[in-house]
Amino acid sequence: MSEPLADGVGVARAHHFESVAQQREAATLGIWAWLITELLLFAALFLVALITRIQHPEATVAAAKHLKFWIGAINTVVLICSSLTMSMAIEFSRMGWQRAMVRAMLATAALGGLFLVLKGYEYYADWAEHMMPFLSDRPFALAETPAARLFVNLYYVATLLHALHLFTGITLLLGMTWMAARAGFLARHQNWIEVYGLYWHFIDLVWILAFPILYVVNR
């Protein structure tokens, strides 16, 4: 732990661990190992997008101009704010401020939901502009440029995968918030908040990488 915990805040040791410290280290190592594999997945998608930009600059720029830059920028701010509220929840959990922690967790989930709403609107605008090449009943607006089709498909794979991670994160966060509101939670499961916080920051990091690669560089 980087900071001491308040009285009454801690972790109930599971029987298969020798100590609470070992239990914390195992949980942290496990989440980091999984997050690194997920980051490699997104890195591969972003790398292909950048290579497409280098090899087919005109087609990629034509496709990227259809992306809603203002939505991407707002969503970047939204997720950065959500990382702030998640960090606040972690700090409140260390201090034993259960009510403040729960409120910060709810604020984090609300910001995540706002991101998904804005992203859904952006997808609707893409549909209206015939920018979904995988729909057979709506001709793709840039059908004459295969490289543009590739870039747009990469955009959807990357952003939908990110949205799936975010939706999963919101669902887990709401479930954890429900449990965290109960008396005695921080005395037994404070490390859950810290471990989950790493996952939420990972979601934020992926979007911070996606926004410049998909929206900014290609404009």
- Quick one: pLDDT band at residue 36, thresholds 50, 70, 90? very high
Q: What is the 3-state secondary structure (H, E, C) of the chain?
A: CCCCCCCCCCECCCCCCCCHHHHHHHHHHHHHHHHHHHHHHHHHHHHHHHHHHHHCHHHHHHHHCCCCHHHHHHHHHHHHHHHHHHHHHHHHHHHCCHHHHHHHHHHHHHHHHHHHHHHHHHHHHHHHCCCCCCCCCCCCCCCCCHHHHHHHHHHHHHHHHHHHHHHHHHHHHHHHHHHHCCCCHHHHHHHHHHHHHHHHHHHHHHHHHHHHHHHHCCC
Query: Which residue's entry shows tokens 């992926």?
Result: 206
Q: Which two tokens stand for residue 217?
A: 């560089």
Residue-wise pLDDT tens digits, 82-101: 999 999 999 998 888 889 99
pLDDT at position 25: 78
- Provide the whole-model pTM: 0.90
User: Does residue 1 have a pLDDT over 90?
Assistant: no
Of the two residues 1 and 16, the one the predictor is more confident about is 16
User: Does residue 123 have a pLDDT over 80?
Assistant: yes
Range with top average pLDDT, 65-69, 162-166, 182-186: 162-166
- Quick one: pLDDT band at residue 178, thresholds 50, 70, 90? very high
Average pLDDT, integer, range 164-174: 97
Report the distance separating Cα 110 and Cα 91, nearest Å.
19
